[in-house]
Structure formats: C-alpha cells, structure tokens
Structure 1
Amino acid sequence: METTAIHIGTALGWGIIHSIWQAAIWYIIYCLMNVALKNRSAATKHNLAFAMQVGIMVSFMATFCYFFERLIQEPTFHGFENGIAANQLIQLEQNPLQIERFIPYIVLIYVIGMFFQIGLLIQSILKMRQIRFKGLEGISLEWSELFRTARQKLNIPEGVQLFLSTKIDVPLTLGHLKPFVLFPIAYANKMDINQVEAILLHELAHVKRRDYLINLIKVCIETLMFFNPFVWALSKVIEREREHACDDLVLQHITKPITYAQALMELEELRMAMRPKLAMAATGKRNHLLNRIKRITKMETNYKNVKPQLAALLLSGAALVGLSFIIPGTDTYDQKSTTLENSQVISTVTSTESMTVAPKPLQHPAAPKNQQLAIPAAPAPLANQDTTVLPAEVKATIKNVQAEAEKIQAYYQSPEWKAKIAEIEKNAAKVQEQFTSAEWKAKVEAMEKSGKDVSAYFESDEWKKQMASIEKETAKIQEHFDSPEWKEKMAKITEETKKVTAYFESPEWKEKVKKWSDMHDDPEFKKINEKYHQEVQDLMHKKSKAQ
C-alpha cells in the first residue's frame, strides 16, 4: 500500500514537471494556428483554444499513467519493506543534483494548492447556488413576449426561462440541463426595450453554444492544473473569444449594432465587483469591453499587437530549453531495466539514474527480524556481497532502519501489546453484545413505534381539522385587522394619542408640574405633609388597639 502511494506521488511529480514543456508545445501550436486562422470566426478560435487546453490536460494524465505504470513494473529490494526508500537514499547520495530530490516538495506544494483551488471552487458554487434559488421574481407579460421572440430567433427550446433577481447587478446565464437567464431587477426599468432584447439575445447565445458546460470543464482543468501558466493563458483566450462569438450571434438578429453597444456600456456601470466563477455575464473587464464595443461597431483596428504572442513564444521556448537540462532522458528506464536483469548488483545500486521513486519515511515497522537487504536477481544476500562502494553514511542509515524495524516488530509481538489488543477485543465484544441484546432491540422498537405514532398523529384527520380550524381563525383575525372598522379605530386611537402627547408637552402642563415641584420643596408643605403622615399613623394605631 505504501509502495503504491509512493509510486502515485512520484508519477504525479513527474507529470507536473513534464506538463510545463508539454503545455508550452500546445500553446506554440495554438499561436501558429491562430496566425494561420486569423480571418476565422470567434467561435472557431474559441474552440481551438479550448481544444488546446483539453490537450494539455490529456497530456498531463497520459504522462502520469506512463510513469506510474513504469514504476510499478520495475523491481525493488525484497525482504525489506523500506527497500525503495533505501534505494532512493543511495541514488540521492551518489548524485545530489538529481531532480528526484525535489519531487516530494513539488507534490506537497501541488496538494496544498489543489486544496486551496477546490476551496475557491466550492465557494463559487455556493455563491452561484444562492443566486440561483434566492431573490427571484417573475417577469411581466411584455418581457415574457420579448424573451419568447428572442428565443425563437436563436431556435432555442421553451425549457429556458427568464427571471428577475435581486442578488445580481448584471444579466447572468446559469445551468446546462435546465438553463435559465437572470436579469437584475434594479436595472429592469432603466433600459430601452431594444437594449433589453439585445442583452437577452446575448445570454441566450450562451445557451445555444452550451457555454455553461464548456466553462464548467474549463474550470475543472484550471483547478487541476492551477500551476501551469499556459492553461491560464488559454483560459483568457477562451473567455475573450466566447464573448466575441456571442456578440456575433447577437449582431445577426438586430438591426442597429449601436444599440447593443450602448446596452453593454450601461450594464458596465452596474457590473458586479465579484461574480460566481461558473457564471457567465454579458459584460467583462473594462479594456475587454472597450475592444468588444469597437468590434461591434466595426471600429476595431486592423493591426494586431504581436507583443503578447512573442512573449508567450519566448516563454514557451525558455521552458523547453530549461527543462531539457533538468529532466533525465527516457532511456533512464530502459538502462535501469537492462541493468536489473544482469547479475551486476552493485552497479544497479550505485546508478544515479535508476530511481525515480520519491523517498518515504525511514522509521516504520517493516522487515522481519534479522532479515538482510537483498535483490531478486542476486543469488546471495546483500550482506555477503562486496558493498565497499556504498558510502558509510548510507550503510549506517540502513543499519539504523533495520534496528528500528526490529524494535517495532518486537513491540508488536510483546505480551503488553497482545494484552492491549485482547482488552480492546473484549470491550468491542461487550459493545456488540449491548447492541444485539433484547433490551436494546426493545428500546429501538419502542422508539420506532413512538415515531410512527407521532407521524400518524400529524397525518391524521383530527390534526388536519385542527390545522384547518387554526387557519380559518387566523384568516378571520387577519380579515378583522384589515377591515375598515379596525382601521378607523386605530386612526382614532392614534389621534387621541397625539392629543394626549400634545397636552403633556404643552406649556400649561409644564407650568403645573413646575408649581407642584416648587410646592413640594416648600418648608410649610413639608411640615403639613409630616403632620398628615403622623395623624394617619396615630389613627391606624388606635384602630389596631380597638380590635
């Protein structure tokens, strides 16, 4: 199991390294074909860039499968579970500049980046789901007829729907099996009807071209190959040509291109700062939008800026030249296979090009006690052969691994470990006995019966009658509170409340309060008040004596 994991990691590392120059070749092919097809439609250029991106992904997967198959077929040291790690140590000690040394770190960085990309993708899906199911409202008859006409122009079936949404600022197209178009409700009454038709045609063009599915595949490729700059370069081309292709479809069904350009400019004013990664909007980045408007209004310049393409070609060439120096040739595996078939054991051990498996941890329970490191092709154990070519550090490492393995093996065969296992099995038997006992089964049956009774009660006619009665009484109460009589009463109460409030805020009331306060602070009043309280107490005392 561990050997398979090491093989997978090593094959993944080599796949990542080789995918750089492979992607460079695919990108060079795209640039050359783009120059040859410069007069082709935007849809053709979009499909070409998408095909190149898929080609990069297929090359990456094929490289991974190739290295994984070669690794599982190559022989390793038997009789010692950490033989692969020992072989790798020998190889790295003999040639510390080998690229195999960096494969574990490359794979680790890839895994961390993969988790980060998956997190971003999940966050985008959650945002898209929130937009898809919240804040939706229906459309008017005029908009429904306009959307139906636009759908007929593009020959799109009736399954596509249009909704107004409070969660977005620009129109969006979501879904593949059941696609629908969302239009921002805040902008619905601010656009001319012809501009609305042009925008709806653009969003329906995404549906006709199945851009949502293609975009989903593109996002998956970006997630798996986030480390490859050529994948992102092709993604930008795909996004640009996708919008151009939709613009071309719109221009085929409208009479005034300037109307469509004005609609895009107005939408740009309310473009979302952040939108879901899987969604496709009618607008985009400001520079890209300006180029689209020039293209729509036939104001696009005839010359092309070749600097980006030249930079991409130079980057591709540099990647190819650089990788040609650091990646070993394919004859490495052929040479290693031939060497292992011979009886030259020591030459196989000391070869600096034979191992491509990433090192795994050296301290792990592995080989049986007192078993020596051996190779299947050798007639005698490795301990009986001349190993003077091995560095002293490697020999010490192998001895330490054997010693640790013997200690771990002895621990797992000790009475203490067996006692712990026996105790665990005993506790597991008790738990199993508890869950298979008649008492537990009776409790489960009682809970199931109680649940059925509760479910039957809430599905009974009595409960439905009670709910109907409650709903009826609620309707009566709601009707009472909505009646003109109740509203008239509330109006009178409000008016009286205003009068009382006005009275207590009037100067007359404030004057009375001031006079009362002044009188309460007067010494004569305090004397009378004390006399009054004293007489009350005396009267109460006399009555209590009389009783």
Structure 2
Amino acid sequence: METLLHNLSEVFAVSIIHSLWQCLIIYLVLRIFLADIVRLSSATKYNITVTALVAATGWFIYTLFDQAAHYSWQITTAHAAAGAPQHLPLIASLKEITHADERYEVTIEHYLPYISTIYIAGLLFHSLRLLSAWMQMQQLKQNTVTDQRLQKRLNELSALLKNKRAVIVSYAERIDVPCVTGYLKPIILLPLSLSTYLSAKEVEAILLHELAHVKRNDYLVNLLQQVMSVVLFFNPFVLLMNRIINQERENSCDDVVVDITGEPLVYAQALLKIEQNNVRYLPLAMAATGKKYHLLNRIERIMKTKKPMANIRHVVLAFTILIGSVSSIAWLNPAIGSGKLSVKTIKFSGIINSFADNDTTAAKKATKKSKSNLPPPPKPPKPTKVYTKNGKTYYITPGMDDPKLEAMGKQMEEYGKQLDKYYNSADFKKLSDDMAAKGKDMEAYYNNPDVKRVQAEMEKAGHDFEAAYGDDSNAKKIGQQMEAVGKKMETYYNSPEFKEMNAKLEKKYSIVHNQPYPREESERSDNYKQYQAELKKNIPADVLAYNDQMKELGKQMKDQFNNPERKAAQDRMRALGDSMRIAFNNPQIKAQQEQMRKMGEQMRNYNNNPDMKRIQKQMKDLGKQMKEYTNSPEFKKRTEEWKKSMKAMNFDYNYNFNYNTDVAPDVVVEPAPVVAPVTVTVPSVPAVKATPAPVPPVAPEKP
C-alpha cells in the first residue's frame, strides 16, 4: 500500500511539473494564431482556443499515463523486505551518460508527495465548487414564472436565427442578469424586473444573444471547459486560455445580435442597463453581460470605435518567447526520474576565453599552457554590417539580414502609417470625443440618484410583495378546496342517473335548447321555473350543499384578492413602474439616444470607407505573404544558418562581438524600394447639434 501511494504521488507530481511547460508552449502558439496579422472572426478565435484547451488537457492526461507506465506496480520480495518504494527509472538518454559532471541534478523526491497532496486537495475543492454551482442552477430552474407573449416572441426570434432546438423563456427570482442554462432542454432565465428598465427592442436583442448561445452549444462547451479547468486548476496558462474563451464566446454572440438587428446602439444600451443590476456570478450559466471589466470593451467593439489595425509586435514577442522556451528546453535537456530533476550542465569556457583576450600577455601565456579537454571554438563568420551606439560597436551576422522580409516589414509599416493618419485625423477624433461625451452624459443620467432610488424602491416593493403574497397559503388552500368540490359536482352532473333524470324533466316541461327566441325569456317563464323546482327536489342534498360550499369559497377567494393591503402594495408597484417608464422615456434622453444612433452611423461610414477597406485587405494579403515566406524552405534554411553562426560565436548578451573595429564592413545589400499605398481620403464628419442635459426624473411618493 505504501508503494502504491508513493508511486501515485510521484506520477501526479511529475505530470504537474511537465504540464507547466506543455501549457506554456500551447499558449504561445495560441497567441501567435490569435494575432491580428490575419483577421479572424470571434467564432474562429473561440474554436481555436477551445481546441488549445482540449490539447492541454489531453497532453496532461497522456503524460499522466505515460509516467505511470514507467513504474513497477508489483512489489518484489526484495523491496518488500527492505521496505523501499519503487522509483521511476531515468529515461534512456540519461542511462547512456558516462560522465556524472555533464548533468546537474536536484533532488525533488521529498517534495513530490506534497505537490500531489496539494493537487488532490485543490481538485476536491474546485470539484465541490462546480457541484455547488450546478445545484444552484437546478434550484433556479425550479422557481420560474412563464410568460406566453414573451415565449411566442422568443419562438419567432428562434425561427429567425434558424435554431432547431426548442427553447423556453421564464422569469426567475434570484438572478440579476439574463442567462441560459441546459443543453437538451435549454431555458432562458430573465430577471423579474427586466421589463421595467429595458424597452421591447432591447429585450429582443438580449433574447437573440441568449439564443445565439443555444445555437452554438455554448452551454455544453462551457460545462466541458469547467471540468478541464478543474483538472488543470493549478496551471496559469489554462486560466489565460479560459479568459480568451469567455471573451470570444460573448463577442461571437454579440456579432450575431448586431448582424441580425442592425442596431448596435440599442444592444449596447441594453448591456449597460443590465450590468447596473448585476451582483451575482453563475459559472455554469451563459450570462448576457459577462464580467464587469469586459463590458466596456464589448460595447466599444459593438460600436466599432476600436482601430482595426494589426500589431505585429505581439506576434514577434510571442514567437520570440516560443523559440526561446523551446530552445531552452532542448538545450538544457531536462528529465525527471528516480526522485531527481536533472538538467544539462552549461559550459562557460567559450565566454571565459572571450574575456581572456583582453588580459595581459602573461595571462595569455598562462592560458595557452593550461590544458583543456574542449576543442577551441570555430572562428565566427565575418560581419556584414557595423554600427556604433553609445560608444559601443555592434555587428549583425548575415544569417537573418533578409532583404525580402525587411521589405515586407517596411510595406506593412507604411500601411500602418496610413491607418494612423486616418484614425488620428481631427474629424475622427472629434467624432470619437463626441460619442464618449454623450455616452458619459447618458451614463450619468442612468446613474442619477433619483433613478437609482426609484429602481431600488421598486425592487424592494417587488421582493416585499413576493414575500407577503407570492406564496399565499390561504389562497392556495381555498383554491385546492374549490378544485376538490368542483370535481365532486362534476362527477355527479356527468353521471348517467342525472342525465337520465334531466332528460325526462326536460321532456315533461318541454324544455327546448335550440330555440329561435332568446334563452333569457325561456328561463323567466313559469314552465322553466317549475322545471328548476322539480330538478332541485330530485338532486341529493349533499350535491346541493356542494353548490353552497362553492359559492362560499368563491366569496372567500374574492375577499382574499380584494385585501386593502394587497391592493395598496399593487398600486405602489404600479406607481413605481410608471415613474421608471417616465424616466426611460424622457424626451431629452430619447433625443440623446437618437444623436448617439446618428454618430454610430457616421462611425460605421468611417469604418466602411472604400480606401480603408482596400488598405485593410492589402495588409491582410501582405500578412499572408509574410506567413508563407517565413514558412518557406528558403527562410527556414537561412534561419538554420543563422543559428549555426550564432552558436559558433563567442558573444555577450548585448551582441557586442569582440572583433577588430578597424576592419571595414562588407557592402550591405539594401532591400528593394517600397511603393507607398494610395493616400486615404478621410471623409468629413457632419456636425451634430448638442442636446441639453436631461432633467432627472422625480420618484413618486409612496401611496
């Protein structure tokens, strides 16, 4: 048993250590793919990131089983007698090492059980959190209220979105933002107070957002994402990938809403209003707003005020880190086995010899006399370019001096300057500043203390009414009694005995149902009264008692709903709702919303400028050419030559080589001239008249 636990602790700990560099490589490759050199849609970025997370989890599980395969899970007699645990042997490459001083080893055997214990504890903790979130969602689904008109409109929007799955919409009590839950039977949950601060168009936009989650199967993917996050909770790169997934998931649904409605301003306002009421976070639900720090970026993205400009620096940085990480791993050749972490020993003799050239003649002679087992390093290739900065002379090797790539980079830089000129124009900045100012005015209006107070009072009144009358036991009891009495009466009046007796009496008194004259005249006749009297005599007394009991219960039910306190609470909620409608239908704020809409149209006209579209397409094509060139055999060959030349040199990390600066550098081949793109014509911005600040609404007095 001790051996089993020991082996398991080592397997888990070693797999956790390997997972850190594995996820680092996956994350760096992901950042390169997600860079804006080639414009990708949010849905494509989402799919790529989900694939990366699945790959990270699969790699961790594969490493776990691969490490377990190296262990002996059967206790031999010798080990059982000695009480020694079965260790993982070193990998084959380490067995072939003959010189012990060629590798540096750190004993980590004593720490492995602690790492595994912490991992198991964290795994249990995050699993319990996930289970608690699932139970919370199940409780929310049980206490819901349906709305037939809203359900009908949801079905129409679902058909518009071509969603084949049946979706239910309901109001829930303990939520503040709309969300969707469930995969086989998806349910959209809306707050009870949603209709008080959102217009009809804004509600439809939110419903479209949630339907987009349903159509994209986001709930199922999110559930799997949460499970993978629990397994790799310790890995920071998994957290970064989760952040990208959550961001691109919401961006994808935002794109669906904007494409269908064509009104980004309405949708942005709806998100802003909903976020003001958001105080809860449900990890297993697809909420409409997401996290607060991401809301402003989403609204800015929806309104398309962000520069659609590619930044090659992110790609270069990620690519450099990736190359450095892989090179470091290959150079150090780390390995874990027999409770030890082993890396290759780094020899600094080349650097020491480099500094030795500047010593005295006596030191040089002493160095020549000293014996070394290492061969002298080869002479590095002659530099082709030399320049001086801050009193230091620097050299560049011919390996990575690629004229073609440099020309492409200058071309991309020229495109970027054209875009900067466009976005830094006075008209565009004025329009952006005007939109920002209007947005702040509207935000200040919606955050007005009077509006907040009325909203808080309305929410409190709703909670108080729900607590007092939402689950009225008396009304429910009366309703159950009426239902029971009604079933008894229905049983008697549908019995064959009553139908036979009633038919005889109708025939006796000539009661005609399909008569040409009004029924009221027939019921007032003496003949009909005699029929009723004899019918009442023949009905059993207990059935007649049921009639009296039903009348009494109906009176009690009427008194229950005509309670003065209940009516006062309903009037209070109605008055607060009227005040909120007046606040959100204020003519001045409506005028500002119209101005924001016009500014949004102007912003779209800017972004849809033909010259801008052409430059963006040229940048995309050039980025594709750069990617194809860097993946070509020619470029890879030059890269390998550069690596070999760098390896053969003795240099410090300032790239200040120890060459004789008196030697004249070779002629440098300059790249081909770059043809500048056509200058972008910046469209003029029509003037927008300023609107006075809206008057804050006044909350009604309490009834």
So what's the TM-score if we normalise by structure 2? 0.45
Give the SS at the match of 1:137: strand
1:269 corresponds to 2:276: yes
Q: Give the match's secondary structure for 1:167.
A: coil
Cα distance in structure 2, aligned partners of 1:485 and 1:233: 58
Tell me, in whole angstroms, the C-alpha distance in 1 between the residues paired with 2:219 and 2:255: 18
| 2:98 matches 1:99 | no
Q: What is the Cα-based RMSD across aligned positions, in Å?
A: 4.0
Task: Give 1:16 shift.
Answer: 0.5
Q: Deviations over 1:350-404 (max 9, x none)?
A: x9789xxxxxxxxxxxxxxxxxxxxxxxxxxxxxxxxxxxxxxxxxxxxxxxxxx
> Is contact 1:176–1:212 with CA below 8 Å preserved after alignment?
yes
Q: Structure 1: how far apart are the matches of 2:486 and 2:155?
A: 43
Indicate if the aligned counterparts of 2:106 and 2:341 stay in contact, CA closer than 8 A. Answer: no
Paired residue for 1:28? 28
- Secondary structure of the corresponding residue to residue 177 of structure 1: coil
Counterpart mapping for 1:142-541 below 5 A: 143-157=150-164, 159-271=166-278, 273-303=279-309, 328-329=334-335, 479-480=551-552, 482-483=554-555
In structure 1, C-alpha distance between the alignment counterparts of 2:67 and 2:24, rounded to whole Å: 20
Q: Is the 8 A contact 1:267 1:283 kept in 2?
A: yes
Aligned equivalents of 2:52 and 2:89: distance in 1? 40
Amino acid at match of 2:290: G
* Secondary structure, aligned partner of 2:261: coil
Task: Give the counterpart letter for 1:85 in structure 2.
Answer: A
Name the CA distance, whole Å, in 2 between partners of 1:193 and 1:89: 66
Change in Cα spacing, 1:247 to 1:87, as seen in structure 2 (3 Å) is: closer
Q: Which residue of 1 aligns with 2:146?
A: 138
> In 2 relative to 1, CA 105–327 (structure 1 residues): closer, same or farther, beyond 3 Å?
farther
Q: Is contact 2:2–2:85 with CA below 8 Å preserved after alignment?
A: no
Instruction: Indicate the percent of aligned positions where both proteins have the same amino acid.
Output: 31
**1:58 matches 2:58:** yes
Does structure 1 conserve the Cα–Cα contact (< 8 Å) formed by 2:168 and 2:186?
yes
Q: Secondary structure at the match of 1:131?
A: helix
- Say whether 1:110 aligns with 2:109: no
- Output the CA distance in 1 between the equivalents of 2:245 and 2:341: 41
CA distance in 1, matches of 2:216, 2:548: 54
One-letter amino acid of the structure 2 residue matched with residue 116 of structure 1? F
- Over residues 38-72 of structure 1, what are the superposed CA-to-partner deviations in whole Å (9 max), with x where a residue is unaligned? 40100000011111111110110010111101113
Tell me the equivalent position of 1:398: none
Q: Which residue identity does 2:57 align to in structure 1?
A: M
Q: CA deviation at 1:98?
A: 1.3
* Residues 114, 224 of structure 1: 8 Å contact kept: yes
CA distance in 1, matches of 2:199, 2:547: 43
| CA–CA distance in structure 2, aligned partners of residues 219 and 131 of structure 1 | 20
- In structure 2, the CA distance between the partners of 1:310 and 1:12, relative to structure 1 (3 Å rule), is farther
Output the CA distance in 2 between the equivalents of 1:235 and 1:167. Answer: 26
**CA positional deviation for 1:324:** 7.9
Residue identity opposite 2:552 in structure 1:
H
Shift of 1:219: 0.3
CA distance in 2, matches of 1:318, 1:99: 25
Deviations 1:159-205 (A, max 9, x none): 21111112211110000111111111211243111111111000000
- Bigger CA radius of gyration: 1
Give the unaligned 5+ runs of structure 2. 91-99, 343-482, 489-544, 564-703
| CA positional deviation for 1:122 | 1.5
Show the counterpart of 1:17.
17
The residue type paired with residue 20 of structure 2 is I
Which amino acid is the alignment partner of residue 120 of structure 1? R
Superposed CA offset, 1:125-164 (max 9, x none)? 1211111112x111142x2332122101111125211111
Given that 1:77 and 1:84 are in contact with CA atoms closer than 8 Å, whether structure 2 keeps it comes out as no
**1:85 counterpart SS class:** coil
Distance 2:82 2:15 in 1: 24
Structure having the larger proportion of residues in helix: 1
- Partners of 2:203 and 2:262 lie apart in 1 by 14
Q: How many residues align?
A: 354
What is the rounded CA distance, in whole Å, between the counterparts of 2:135 and 2:157 in structure 1?
30
Closer, same or farther: CA 471–245 of 1 in aligned 2, 3 Å: same
Shift of 1:309: 8.2
Compared CA separation, residues 180 and 485, structure 1 to 2 (3 A): closer
Equivalents in 2 of 1:32, 1:49: separation in Å? 12
Q: How much has 1:90 moved relative to structure 2?
A: 13
Contact 2:46–2:245, Cα closer than 8 Å, also in 1? yes
Aligned CA distance change for structure 1 residues 311 and 480 (closer, same or farther; 3 Å): farther
Tell me the residue number matched to 1:78.
77
Deviations along 1:15-50, one digit per CA (max 9) or x if unpaired, are: 101000000010111011112664010000001111
The answer to whether the Cα contact below 8 Å between 1:118 and 1:223 also exists between their aligned partners in 2 is yes
Residue 165 of structure 1 contacts residue 183 of structure 1 at CA under 8 Å; is this kept in 2? Answer: yes
Partner of 1:81, secondary structure, is helix
Q: Structure 1 residues 261, 352: CA separation in 2 closer, same or farther (over 3 Å shift)?
A: closer
Amino acid at match of 2:8: I
Q: Quick one: which amino acid aligns to residue 121 of structure 1?
A: L
CA distance in 2 between partners of 1:279 and 1:475 (Å): 50
Out of 194-203 and 6-15, give the one that drifted further: 6-15
Q: CA deviation at 1:14?
A: 0.9
Q: Does residue 47 of structure 2 align to residue 47 of structure 1?
A: yes
AA matched with 1:283: T
Q: Secondary structure at the match of 1:284?
A: coil
The one-letter code matched in structure 2 to 1:221 is: M
CA distance in 1, matches of 2:61, 2:159: 42
Tell me the TM-score normalized by structure 1.
0.57
Q: Flag the 1:260–1:277 CA change in 2: closer, same or farther, 3 A.
A: same
3-state SS in 2 of match to 1:97: strand
Q: Separation in 1 of the partners of 2:234 and 2:321? A: 15
**Helix, strand or coil: the match of 1:182?**
strand
**Cα distance in 2, alignment partners of residues 203 and 329 from structure 1:** 48
The change in CA–CA distance for 1:118 and 1:157 in structure 2 (over 3 A counts) is same
